[in-house]
Structure 1
Amino acid sequence: MELEEMMARLEALGTEQNRKVYGKHGAKEPLFGVSFGNLDKLRKEIKTNDALAEQLWNTGNTDARTLAVMIVDPKTRTLEQLEQWLDDIDYYCLTDVLVTHLASKSPLLPELLERWTTSDREWVGRAGWQLMAHAAMKSKALGEDYFLRQLGRIEARIHSSPNRTRDAMNAALIAIGMRSEALEAAALAAAARIGKVEVDHGDTDCKTPDAVAYIAKAKSRKR
């Protein structure tokens, strides 16, 4: 599939309403405003295409970059390539898509967790802690002791971390608490000591979930 054809399809799928909504959430121009539902349909159609992914990323278009991280093969990405793409991002939704579709499936997962969660840079830190949340929910390779140590790191740093990093650390706290009963107790205790986590969500209706309430609600759903 040629780049020009895909860009034309993305442009046709974009809407002015989506552009406004994404813009409020921090998406930068150029931007068509393609819904995530339509991007996912394209992902399923294309499957994996590294060459097209690179071309889409290099356009600088936010929709094209979002599709790029959905169709690139996580196994082919080197650390340098992953971090180059992450360095180009200053939009939390694209950061999160990169984590979900690419970083979380990378064989470099342990190294990415170590490198990104220790970063003081807002978007790199966000990616690291969103990746930690994903690992807490999905990874069988990392043990309970590992996640218990992360609770201490979150408690020590969350209030002094950059805005969007702070948001992701709160998500990681919740995810760790949902992993097991033992971690639930430790996460609830940490959340109580942390208290309210303030995150500026800009001109949106997004709210920062209270970790204690969220973990308790998730537990009740499992019963």
Structure 2
Amino acid sequence: MAETTVAEVLAELAALEDPKARAINEKHGDDHGVNLTKLRAIAKRLKTRQELAVKLWATDDTAARLVALLVCRPKAFERDDLDTMLREARTPKVHDWLVGYVVKKSPHAEALRLAWFADPDPVVASAGWALTTDRVAKDPDGLDLAGLLDIIEAQMKDAPDRLQWAMNHCLAQIGIEHPEHRARALDIGERLEVLKDYPTPPNCTSPFAPIWITEMVRRQA
């Protein structure tokens, strides 16, 4: 089988460009017009191709970068590679997929979590909070949960949007997973009222932490 080139992938993505998809994506801060189901189908066909992934990332094209994140080998990246990539990832979907699909699977995840957590760039810091939230749920040993709640209580209300969202997710996760901190998590959510009025579609759980925590705990009962 002939090796797929960057030009071929870019041409395939360009052929999938859909003005309606672009309009929807742009509302969320993403600058591409490719249906994500179709984009995932391209990545599934390509399978794992680290060298191609690196070249696709270098194009600085959002859709190409999303494909790159799906076909890369997460453990092949060095710590500094991932740090550079995160700082280059300025659209929400690329940022989220990089953290969720690549960094979380990397042996450097904990070092990056610690490095990003208090970064002065709020978008970078939001990645540190996302990795912390993952640990709150899956590997909380060693985390200072009360200390995290202190930071959330002091900073979440006035944090920039993406950082605020990540802090709020961490608040909810602490309340959901750790009964000994639940009352305080609920209280912080009620007092700060972050995302209280967020428009929530039918059959979806509100991101307002008290509602989110209460609903998830109910489902676990």
Paired with 1:14 and 1:58, the residues of 2 have a C-alpha distance of: 20
Matched, 1:166 2:164: yes
Are the structure 2 counterparts of residues 208 and 132 from structure 1 closer, same or farther at C-alpha, using a change threshold of 3 Å? Answer: farther
In structure 2, what is the equivalent of residue 133 of structure 1? 133
Paired with 2:216 and 2:120, the residues of 1 have a C-alpha distance of: 31
Matched, 1:66 2:66: yes
Where does the alignment leave 5 or more consecutive residues of structure 2 unmatched?
none
Question: Which of structures 1 and 2 has the larger relative contact order (alpha carbons within 8 angstroms, sep 6+)?
Answer: 1
2:123, 2:163 within 8 Å by CA — same for their partners in 1? yes
Paired with 1:128 and 1:217, the residues of 2 have a C-alpha distance of: 26
- Counterparts of 1:98-177 in structure 2, within 5 Å, are 98-137=98-137, 139-140=138-139, 142-143=140-141, 145-177=143-175
Deviations 1:152-178 (CA, angstroms, capped at 9, x unpaired)? 222222123222111111112112222
Paired with 1:73 and 1:147, the residues of 2 have a C-alpha distance of: 32
Paired with 1:135 and 1:34, the residues of 2 have a C-alpha distance of: 32
Q: How many residue pairs were aligned?
A: 214
User: 1:144 Cα shift?
Assistant: 6.8
Given candidates 16, 19, 29, the residue that maps to 1:16 is 19
Paired with 1:159 and 1:151, the residues of 2 have a C-alpha distance of: 13
Are the structure 2 counterparts of residues 218 and 95 from structure 1 closer, same or farther at C-alpha, using a change threshold of 3 Å? Answer: same
Given candidates 182, 185, 189, the residue that maps to 1:187 is 185
RMSD: 2.5
| Larger Rg belongs to | 2
